[in-house]
Amino acid sequence: MKKTIAFVTTLIIIAYGVLAYFEVFNTITFFGETDSITLRIAGDRNFPPYEYIDEHGEYIGFNVDIIRAIALSTGINVQFYPMEWQETSEKLQAKEVDVIQGIKITKEREKYYDFSDAYLENSQSIFVLMDTEIEKLEDLSFQRVAIQQGDVAITNLKALWEVKIIFTSDQEEAMRKLLVGEVDAYIGNTLTGAFLINQLGVRNQVKIVGEMLNPSKYAVAVARGDVYTQHIINKGLKEIKRNGTYDKIYRKWFGQPLQFPSWYKRKIIATIGIAISSLLIMILFLYRWNSSLKKEVEKQTYEIQEVNKILIGQNKEISREKDFREKILQNIFIAVVTINKEGRISFVNQLAYQLLGSQEEGRLVGNPYRETLLEQLFSLDKLQEGKGEEEIYIQGEKRLLYYDIRTITNINGDMEEVILFFRDVTEERKLQETIRTKDKLQSLGNLVASIAHEIRNPLTSIKAYAELLPKKFNNTEFQKLFSTDIPLEIDRVNTLINDLLEYAKPRKPFRERIHLQSALNGVLTLLKNKIKQEKVHIENHIDEAIYIHMDKNHLRQVLLNMILNAIESMDKEKKKITFSAEIRDKKILLNIKDNGCGIDEDSIHKIYNPFYTTKSNGTGLGLFVTFQLLAENGVALSYESALQEGTIFTLTFTREGEDFIAEAINC
């Protein structure tokens, strides 16, 4: 028992000795030969309450007081240089100043600066007017948002849709733009925004919404490699925190201390020491219970071993499942590559190696993607989602790759992994071109009768003039009619032939501004004979003011296919095709309606499949080619149909400015 009391007493003495040591250590003051040093301090000229020029022209603020306190504690001299915020980094990198006072620590900035110890936790908020419907960050899509030039909040806004970003020189300018309605919201430093609200007296007009953004540590920045200046700043910060100066400055500008005062810390440490001592005494008493608990411990140990066996079995099952999933990825028909957030390749399946070339095998996994062929082939500059096509050469043969880049994010919205899917679509594109050519040939056959009729009319006129020419060669009136009519008829024939050649010639889409009603009338003219033979009534309700952007030959073929398809679907006496267009939101919708037989439920999902048709003499290529042509021009195609009532096909274009630009769809 005496040994136990002596042991406890010794522990208590050691604990109080450690406390005494830290107490003495905390009283050490930094001394050095720094009286002759003058540091040039850069800071924002208008960033209250951190740093700003007041109405008397004095440079004041929380950061200014911190730097002055550091200067007093270390014996250095400081000279302040207020400037626009975006200038501070340029001045420091050019070594025109030695320090940037008060700056958020980010990974990007760590590439250019070294930082002191952090002395503040900082965050940003969304500021809006009281009567706004904006409640969170996602509501800023399609809104006008102000941020200070160079602010890290640009990262938050880039993740949203169609945000109009307005840059300001400082946060006060952003607040004033919000108050006069030039912007719908602004993002800025939380404490600065609260300070401006009080200073401008707009507490009843402005509110903060959503969660805090970009929480980060706040420190002093020095030039990369300037260890000496960094050492001085850190020593000064430790001293002003130890002697309570930091707490006073914080209360002066923000109203409450960031951390507990030194005496409170000492009291907490002493309390912890007493608690530890009491805990040790309890442990000594509990030691006597050890024998009675031994059997219970053995029992628990046995149970733990059993649990471990179960966990080992589960781990093996998880491992088998992981291997099974990897085998699936290795054997699927699409190439897969994954890249982690550090930019290193973490997985490559066998098909990816085959498509990239055997020389890439063994040098992909584990390496930065920028050092591999992936950087040259695909749009991976910012590891963002996207899709497209790239041409590469595999064993000297040109191949076309279609790729799709997807990102995986964690619960906080931060990117964890990038997945790159790609596949060889060379043969697929060739097949599509072959199908399109067959469809054009079929369409040409349907046009022959109409075009022949159109050509026969001017040829008849030319023949009549040619027969009268010997008899009326000297007739002045005949000469006048001859010189007027014959060129017009020849031009008419030439135009028909040129249109036919231009329609038949395959090429990539060339989008241009097209008058929709004129384009439709041109197609109806080509099909005039077919429409007349089938006794189809045409109604055209398209406004003359509507223009679209599309390849004119593709538009002609689409309209030809859809009109011929509509004619063939009608077996009634009163056949009718109606064309109409409407503007809805930022889109124009072209509707083609027939009163034909409609499409049954079994066929409705197959109408775009190549070679699928319910007609006895059809090829099943018309709607497939139509869909492909519209997709190439970025035009969406949808339909509504009912048996024995007819079908409505709708082509959807997106409006931009005064023109109509095709809306891209995923095909």
Q: Tell me which of 400, 424, 448 is where a domain ends.
A: 424
Where in the sequence is the domain holding 415, given as residue range(s)? 332-424
- Shared domain check, 455 and 420: no
pLDDT, tens digit, for every residue of 406-446?
Answer: 888 777 777 778 888 888 777 777 776 776 666 555 655 55
Higher-pLDDT residue of 264, 604: 604
Residues 160 and 152: their CA atoms lie apart, in Å, by 15
- Is 72 among the domain residues? yes
Question: Is the per-residue pLDDT at 555 higher than 60?
Answer: yes
Residues 574 and 537: their CA atoms lie apart, in Å, by 8
Residues 393 and 522: their CA atoms lie apart, in Å, by 43
Higher-pLDDT residue of 530, 578: 578
Residue 643 CB neighbours (<10 A): 11
- pTM for this model (two decimals): 0.34
- Shared domain check, 407 and 479: no
User: For position 616, what pLDDT does the model report?
Assistant: 45
Report the percentage of the chain scoring pLDDT > 70: 74
Residues 621 and 442: their CA atoms lie apart, in Å, by 9
User: For position 24, what pLDDT does the model report?
Assistant: 36
User: For position 644, what pLDDT does the model report?
Assistant: 78
- Is 268 among the domain residues? no
Range with top average pLDDT, 155-169, 228-242, 278-292, 309-323: 228-242
User: For position 304, what pLDDT does the model report?
Assistant: 79
Lowest mean pLDDT of 175-179, 233-237, 272-276, name the range.
Answer: 272-276
- Domains contained in the chain, number: 3
Distance of alpha carbon 275 from the chain centroid: 53
User: For position 618, what pLDDT does the model report?
Assistant: 46
- Shared domain check, 505 and 396: no
Return the CATH number at 364: 3.30.450.20
- Is 345 among the domain residues? yes
State both tokens at 347.
């997985």
Higher-pLDDT residue of 498, 23: 498
Q: Which residues of 336-355 are buried (b: 16+ CB within 10 A; e: fewer)?
A: bbbbeeeebbbbbbebbbeb
User: For position 97, what pLDDT does the model report?
Assistant: 94
Residue 546: which of 471, 653, 648, 458 has the closest Cα? 653
Residues 638 and 623: their CA atoms lie apart, in Å, by 12
Question: Is the per-residue pLDDT at 666 higher than 90?
Answer: no
Average pLDDT over residues 608-629: 59
Return the CATH number at 187: 3.40.190.10
Residue 586: which of 650, 639, 541, 652 has the closest Cα? 652
- Shared domain check, 592 and 488: yes
Burial of 528 (0-12, 13-18, 19+ CB in 10 A): middle
Return the CATH number at 608: 3.30.565.10
pLDDT band at residue 356 using 50, 70 and 90 as cut-offs = confident
Q: Tell me which of 195, 222, 257 is where a domain ends.
A: 257
Range with top average pLDDT, 20-24, 133-137, 282-286, 414-418: 133-137
Helix (H) or strand (E) holding 415: strand 415-424
- Shared domain check, 579 and 449: yes
- Is 284 among the domain residues? no
User: Quick one: DSSP state of residue 664?
Assistant: P
- Shared domain check, 336 and 214: no
CB 581 within 8 A of CB 543: yes
Question: Is the per-residue pLDDT at 657 higher than 50?
Answer: no
- Shared domain check, 539 and 456: yes
- Shared domain check, 579 and 457: yes
- Is 476 among the domain residues? yes
Q: Tell me which of 369, 398, 424 is where a domain ends.
A: 424
Tell me how far CA of residue 137 lies from CA of 204, 205, 602, in angstroms.
22, 19, 45
Residue 25: which of 269, 376, 205 has the closest Cα? 269
User: For position 507, what pLDDT does the model report?
Assistant: 59
- Shared domain check, 414 and 435: no
User: For position 77, what pLDDT does the model report?
Assistant: 93
- Is 10 among the domain residues? no
Residue 167: which of 186, 192, 147, 189 has the closest Cα? 147
- Is 582 among the domain residues? yes
Helix (H) or strand (E) holding 20: helix 2-25
Question: Is the per-residue pLDDT at 308 higher than 90?
Answer: no
Residue 257 CB neighbours (<10 A): 15
Q: Which residues of 618-641 are buried (b: 16+ CB within 10 A; e: fewer)?
A: ebbbbbbbbbbbbbbbbbbbeeeb
- Shared domain check, 173 and 235: yes
CB 390 within 8 A of CB 399: no
Question: Is the per-residue pLDDT at 584 higher than 90?
Answer: no
User: Quick one: DSSP state of residue 367?
Assistant: S
State both tokens at 73.
């504690």
- Shared domain check, 344 and 197: no
Report the percentage of the chain scoring pLDDT > 90: 22
* Amino acid, res. 579: F
- Shared domain check, 620 and 587: yes
Question: Is the per-residue pLDDT at 257 higher than 60?
Answer: no
